[in-house]
Amino acid sequence: MKKPTKWTLFAAAFAALAAPADNLHLEAEAFETWGGWVNDTQFMDADHSSYLLAHGLGKPVANAKTTFEIAAPGPHTLLVRTKNWTAPWSKSAAGTFQIKVDGVVQPKVLGAEGQGEWLTETAGVVPLAKGVHTLELVDLTGFDGRCDWVEVKSDIAAPIPAAPVKVEKRAFDLVVVGGGIAGTTAAISAARLGLSVALVQDRPVLGGNNSSEIRVHLGAWQNMPPYPRLGDVLAEIAPARGGNAQPKAIYEDDRKLAVVKAEKNISLFLNTRVDAVSTNGVGRILSVSGRDTRTGNRTVFSGRWFVDATGDGTVGYLAGADWREGREAKSETGEAWAPEKADMLTMGASVQWYAGTTKDGKPVAFPQQPWMIRLTDANGHQGVHGDWDWEAGLGREQIAEAEYIRDYGLLVAFSNWGYVKNLASNRTEYANKELKWVAYNAGRRESRRLMGDWILSENDIDARTVFPDATCAATWTIDLHWPKSAKDSKFDGEPFRSDSLNKTIWPMAIPYRCYYSRNVPNLFMAGRDISVTHIALGTTRLMRTHGMMGEVVGMAAAICAKHGCDPRAVYTDYLDELKALMTKGVGDGKKHPEQRYNIQDSLDPAFKWNKRNHQLR
């Protein structure tokens, strides 16, 4: 073998320096195929990123796959952003996975390091030839391992420049942010009255908590006095059947989507998370910017008016709107149920679930895992259904701690099923039962509330106040949730079940002034982020009520367009026009399935519900 000279060594070194460094950033949500992984977008406000989640209910999911191209051969380091989600409660990790490159699984098990924070792990160093290669995420457990991104680096110290982002600009009369029940009806109502509408939703389906992703059924009365036609649009999208945590078909995602797509004035933007707002410097919103949760590309939506139907008051918060969170003090509101001191005891978020018999009726195992909470006959739940009262995070910061809250909900759901299958005294009764569905999107009840010209309170409800700008009626009880005490639940860890405190009310027609911001002049609200106290939220937070709110907001936006005014002027100058629209309604005039489920009695004797015969009595 010929000995290299110093000149050949120099030439080789120079060639290495001159060769392009391969430093690639691969966002997991942008992989070419997700396999059995799902795109989790819930926590983008806190973490500024979505990620892939291996939500397999204890069965490893199919690999997520993508390809990448290498320009110069050589060793490349694989870096992965992930987290050990069970670390806050256990030394054992639930959601682990590995990286496979060109068919070869790298030995490093990922998702088992850290104390529950997102961090970067090294998956290995692999020799890569010039050309196209494959990369896969290999789930090991089916218990919610997660991956934000993978980097392939020939120079581990070199920063990777941000990828170019495509930006599209669109202009509309009305921009509705949030495609839950309230946002959907607001968009339909405004579109039917002639406005060009953008409906922007961060998930692939419409319906919010009533979608098949979360599976909470609609509640409260609709089509009530003083405006019985409010609720007609809601009837077009409302599922015919009720029940929490039921099979996917119950929630009729396709029906909601079909109604929206039939409206020529609505442009629908699914999988788009609004995370930035532009104002004119004195509060007026000029545009909102949304990021595609799969590609990272952006759309800037300019508009004359905006609707915050996000539930979390995201648009208002980013625009500088006045907002509240938590419970007001009795000294501030004078409410009978208010605490002496203000606090953050919010209602929580539910991770619902259900189980059923295996397809072949044969027994199936669900092994107890070391990271599971140990439950017993004294505090475990023997059953096949986790309903609304599987509620985590009561009193925690619902937005900043959202991932922690959801993860605790997953932890206790899996832990309880592990108890049922392996430790319960009657476990043989569950031998052929298996988990059919566990929500990975938590159903949140409460977070920010945006303040309007009127803040509806318990006092208004108790006094049966008749407002000049009354709109749709809230009819549910004042229904507030509390964590089950250790004594009641026989469980001394962080609560994961809730109780409710209920006060039956007379129907309360909500004033229109609760539906627009008091300091952002062109911002409407619809849904659970309207202008109410924590106590009043107990009745206004029901989704049938939200649907009617949305109809009203769409009507008010049409009046704004007609007169070139802002939402406040609808109250001060054009209230009679709003009343006329609410009297007429904007439904399609067709017959739709009657809403014969999840309706509570009110104090009004004209509205009592015979649950047995499913009719008014």
**What does the block give as tokens for 279?**
């104002």
Dihedral sign for Cα atoms in the order 260, 261, 267, 268: positive
Q: Over 80: is that where the pLDDT of 9 sits?
A: no
Could you tell me the CA-to-CA distances from 419 to 369, 391, 393, 493 in Å, in that order? Answer: 10, 19, 22, 16
Could you tell me the CA-to-CA distances from 531 to 289, 311, 322, 509, 512 in Å, in that order? Answer: 24, 12, 10, 14, 10
pLDDT at 488: 67
Find tokens 């694989």 and name the residue. 78
pLDDT at 18: 36
* Mean pLDDT on 344-373: 97
Dihedral sign for Cα atoms in the order 515, 518, 520, 521: positive
Domain with CATH 3.50.50.60 in the chain: 168-332+457-471+506-616
Strands 391-392 and 349-350: antiparallel
Q: Give 8 or 379, the one with higher predicted confidence.
A: 379
Place 12 in a pLDDT band, splitting at 50, 70 and 90.
very low
The secondary element (H helix, E strand) that includes residue 53 is strand 51-55
pLDDT at 596: 84
Whole-structure pTM value: 0.94
pLDDT at 601: 86
Region of residue 351 (phi > 0: left; psi between -120 and 50: alpha; otherwise: beta): beta
**Of 176, 195, 351, which Cα lies nearest the Cα of 270?**
176
Place 15 in a pLDDT band, splitting at 50, 70 and 90.
very low
* Mean pLDDT on 326-354: 97
pLDDT at 610: 59
Rg of the chain's alpha carbons, rounded to an integer?
Answer: 27
Q: Over 60: is that where the pLDDT of 489 sits?
A: yes
Domain 19-153: give its CATH superfamily: Galactose-binding domain-like (2.60.120.260)
Q: Over 50: is that where the pLDDT of 348 sits?
A: yes
* Mean pLDDT on 597-604: 90
Tens of pLDDT along 429-484?
Answer: 999 999 999 999 999 999 999 999 999 999 999 999 999 999 999 999 999 999 98
Tens of pLDDT along 516-575?
Answer: 999 999 999 999 999 999 999 999 999 999 999 999 999 999 999 999 999 999 999 999
* Mean pLDDT on 69-81: 97
If one looks up domain 168-332+457-471+506-616 in CATH, what number appears?
Answer: 3.50.50.60
Listed range (41-45, 555-559, 577-581) with the worst mean pLDDT = 41-45
pLDDT at 16: 34
What average pLDDT does the structure give for the chain?
94
Q: Over 80: is that where the pLDDT of 8 sits?
A: no
* Mean pLDDT on 391-404: 96
The backbone torsions φ and ψ at residue 273, rounded to the nearest 5 degrees and listed phi first, read: -100, 115
* Mean pLDDT on 215-243: 97
**What does the block give as tokens for 491?**
């469980």
* Mean pLDDT on 269-294: 97
Could you tell me the CA-to-CA distances from 144 to 80, 116, 419 in Å, in that order? Answer: 16, 13, 19
| Beta-bridge partners for 444 | 349
* Mean pLDDT on 576-596: 95
Domain with CATH 2.60.120.260 in the chain: 19-153
Place 615 in a pLDDT band, splitting at 50, 70 and 90.
very low
Q: How far apart are CA 561 and CA 174, in angstroms?
A: 9
Could you tell me the maximum CA-CA distance found in the chain, to the nearest angstrom?
103
Q: Over 70: is that where the pLDDT of 11 sits?
A: no
Tens of pLDDT along 124-161?
Answer: 999 999 999 999 999 999 999 999 999 999 999 999 99
**What does the block give as tokens for 176?**
């509705």
Q: Over 60: is that where the pLDDT of 53 sits?
A: yes
